[in-house]
């Protein structure tokens, strides 16, 4: 049976901010503590709003309807959009639109997927297809499901300035970016994904607002710390209760009204809060309490590698966050694949093979990371492997390079095949960037849509960003960098789906599909077993990775030669479930360069 839902009926959630349709009309609410008076401009008519305790202004308009445009008018006569707008009439500077949240869901029985089953594909809606819309992206969901992916992670869709961008400079955190489609279009995309058995996570940015279109400074400067900044602008003051509600309710809104399966919180190290109950802990608690009947997953990006964010309780259940993007694994893998050791890779270059083992054993090479980072001297806190999302590339690692090269363009094909096998057949959660499954070679650049001084600031900043990700190629200068504001830079970042049907694309798809199939058959059942997973690295020469994971008595064994020469490897006890070996490989206890063998308890390897 189809289901029609209203936002206010979902898990008892009612927004503190914004325009909400109710039985007696549309209620408009905004926090503007620096304003003496506020007016609501709706359908061409200005109405005075009622000021209540704590700097809130509120007004209910009986005749307002879904689709009507509205704005808030400040004491000086300036009209500003709703910071909790669900949709815009134009861009971030234009009036907001009242949105009726009703939607007829088709896949009403969907309850999500257990995290242990996660195989993630990250996509950018604007660059995933030539059209760059939710509707067009929905047409490609069958491909992802057919490959064996179980989770889609969507880069931010909150309304940002201009028509194109990565989405991390959003200023209207409740609105879907108008270039991608309407809120209903996004719901249809999620609904279609569920129909294909795909869970959907949304990337959200709770650490800053974008530099263009944020009017909060004018009427609610208390929203921000007066003397604290992030790398991208003013830091948010989570000590203010209205600010806390804005973001916590935003998380509840996306998961509740849009039926998302979870969120990925961007750069949480830039979320500063000295409150007794940290905003991250409170957000996690409220989300989990609101959706007890669904599989909902919260993922973080955290440059500090805080172990406390990922800890489990005595029964192995998630306490705060489900998993974290594991840059540490990426960095050691990238050095092995490319030889690049500058920028972000520098702390991992020394003792590379030891740090590679640490990443496989414990997830973090540098837990609770110091500056400069140091390897822990004491016993490490146990975290299960599924607390770590491992990847060989993501939007940052590709797009922040000077020329947006993917790993396939930087490393030898046999090296990428080997590392891909290690990625999928290790117990950590595997993650591919869009196009990686069919071997896309098209670069993915940093792109935006800023003009004037702001546009020039972004252009100048690209060189500094690129230095952290490999720097410039020999013979290239800063003048050769793609202009992030040029529409051609965006167009050249779009996937070329025709490659998927090329000989190379079909071969790559077959290989990735095989690995995902093996993961679902052998690795996922092990992760679902109760109890602690133990891991051990066997003594081996530099260049060899020999790790055993034990799941309730059953052992998963990985042997990989990551070097460019033939090397001896420790023996394994189980039955081989996968190997990447030369056809004439002799059985002399050694492995050829770029070779992998994975073995499992013989009783399970059927």
CB atoms within 10 A of CB 314: 5
H helices of 124-266, in order, are 125-128, 134-138, 141-147, 183-195, 216-219, 241-257
Q: What is the pLDDT of residues 218-273, one digit of tens each?
A: 999 999 998 899 988 899 999 999 999 999 999 999 999 999 999 999 999 999 99
Alpha helices, H only, 240-312: 241-257, 279-290
Residue bearing tokens 């990565």: 166
**Cis before 372? omega within 30:** yes
C-alpha–C-alpha distance, residues 17 and 82, integer Å: 9
User: What crossing angle do the helices spanning 503-518 and 413-425 adopt, rounded to 10°?
Assistant: 30
Which backbone phi and psi does 46 adopt, to 5 degrees?
-95, 135
Give 431's Cβ-side CA count (13 Å radius).
29
% of the chain surpassing 90 pLDDT: 89
Beta bridge partners of 545: 560
- Share of residues in the chain with pLDDT > 70 (%): 98
pLDDT at 8: 40
pLDDT tens by residue, 449-493: 999 999 888 888 888 888 888 888 877 888 889 999 999 999 999
CA-to-CA separations, 529 to 524, 537, 550, in angstroms, rounded: 9, 22, 11
What per-residue confidence (pLDDT) applies to 13? 65
* Residue among 271, 297, 328 at smallest CA distance from 116: 297
pTM: 0.96
Catalytic residue list: 266, 301
pLDDT of residue 583: 77
Per-residue model confidence (pLDDT) at position 512: 98
Strand order in the sheet with 18-22: 18-22, 25-31, 56-61, 50-51
Q: Is residue 85 a contact partner of residue 29, using CB atoms and an 8 Å limit?
A: no
* Average pLDDT of every residue of the chain: 95
Among the listed residues 154, 96, 95, the one whose alpha carbon sits nearest the alpha carbon of residue 128? 154
Number of residues assigned to the chain = 606
User: ∠233-268-321 over CA atoms, to 5°?
Assistant: 160
pLDDT tens figures, 58-106: 999 999 999 999 999 999 999 999 999 999 999 999 999 999 999 999 9
């Amino acid at each position: 049976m189809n289901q029609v839902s209203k936002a206010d009926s979902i898990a008892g959630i009612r927004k503190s901010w914004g325009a909400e349709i109710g039985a007696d009309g549309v209620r408009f609410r905004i926090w503007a503590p620096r304003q003496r008076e506020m007016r609501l401009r709706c359908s061409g008519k200005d109405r005075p709003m009622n000021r209540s305790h704590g700097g809130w202004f509120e007004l209910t308009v009986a005749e307002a309807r879904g689709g009507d445009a509205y704005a808030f008018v400040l004491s000086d006569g300036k009209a500003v959009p709703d910071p909790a707008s669900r949709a815009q009439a134009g861009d971030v500077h234009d009036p907001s639109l009242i949105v009726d949240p009703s939607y007829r869901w088709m896949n009403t029985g969907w309850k999500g997927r257990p995290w242990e089953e996660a195989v993630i594909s990250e996509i950018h809606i604007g660059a995933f297809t030539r059209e760059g819309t939710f509707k067009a992206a929905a047409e490609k969901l069958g491909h992802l499901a057919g490959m064996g992916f179980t989770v889609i992670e969507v880069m931010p869709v909150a309304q940002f300035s201009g028509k194109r961008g990565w989405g991390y400079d959003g200023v209207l955190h409740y609105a879907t970016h108008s270039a991608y489609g309407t809120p209903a279009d996004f719901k249809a995309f999620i609904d279609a994904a569920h129909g294909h058995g795909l869970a959907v996570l949304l990337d959200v940015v709770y650490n800053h607002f974008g530099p263009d279109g944020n009017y909060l400074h004018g009427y609610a400067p208390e929203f921000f710390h007066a003397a604290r900044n992030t790398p991208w602008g003013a830091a948010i003051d989570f000590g203010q209760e209205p600010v806390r509600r804005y973001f916590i309710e935003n998380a509840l809104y996306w998961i509740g009204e849009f039926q998302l399966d979870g969120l990925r919180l961007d750069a949480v190290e830039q979320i500063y809060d000295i409150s007794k109950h940290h905003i991250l802990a409170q957000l996690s608690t409220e989300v989990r309490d609101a959706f007890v009947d669904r599989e909902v997953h919260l993922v973080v990006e955290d440059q500090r590698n805080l172990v406390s964010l990922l800890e489990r309780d005595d029964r192995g259940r998630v306490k705060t966050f489900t998993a974290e993007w594991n840059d540490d694994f990426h960095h050691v893998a990238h050095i092995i694949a490319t030889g690049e050791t500058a920028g972000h890779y520098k702390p991992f270059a020394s003792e590379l093979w030891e740090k590679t083992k640490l990443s496989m054993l414990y997830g973090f090479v540098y837990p609770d990371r110091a500056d400069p980072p140091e390897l822990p001297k004491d016993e490490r806190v146990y975290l299960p492997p599924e607390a770590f999302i491992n990847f060989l590339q993501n939007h940052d690692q590709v797009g922040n390079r000077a020329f947006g090269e993917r790993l396939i363009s930087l490393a030898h094909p046999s090296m990428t095949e080997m590392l891909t096998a290690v990625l999928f057949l290790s117990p950590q959660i595997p993650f591919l960037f869009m196009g990686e499954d069919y071997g896309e070679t098209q670069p993915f650049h940093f792109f935006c849509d800023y003009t004037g001084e702001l546009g020039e600031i972004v252009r100048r900043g690209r060189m500094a960003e690129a230095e952290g990700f490999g720097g410039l190629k020999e013979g290239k200068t800063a003048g050769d960098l793609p202009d992030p504001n040029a529409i051609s830079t965006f167009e050249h970042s779009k996937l070329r789906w025709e490659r998927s049907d090329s000989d190379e694309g079909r071969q790559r798809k077959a290989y990735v599909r095989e690995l995902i199939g093996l993961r679902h058959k052998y690795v996922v059942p092990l992760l679902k077993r109760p109890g602690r997973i133990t891991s051990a690295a066997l003594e081996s020469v530099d260049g060899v990775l020999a790790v055993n994971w034990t799941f309730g008595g059953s052992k998963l064994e990985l042997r990989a030669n990551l070097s460019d020469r033939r090397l001896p490897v420790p023996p394994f006890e189980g039955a081989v479930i996968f190997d990447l070996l030369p056809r004439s490989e002799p059985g002399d206890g050694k492995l050829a360069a770029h070779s992998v063998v994975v073995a499992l308890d013989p009783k399970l390897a059927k």
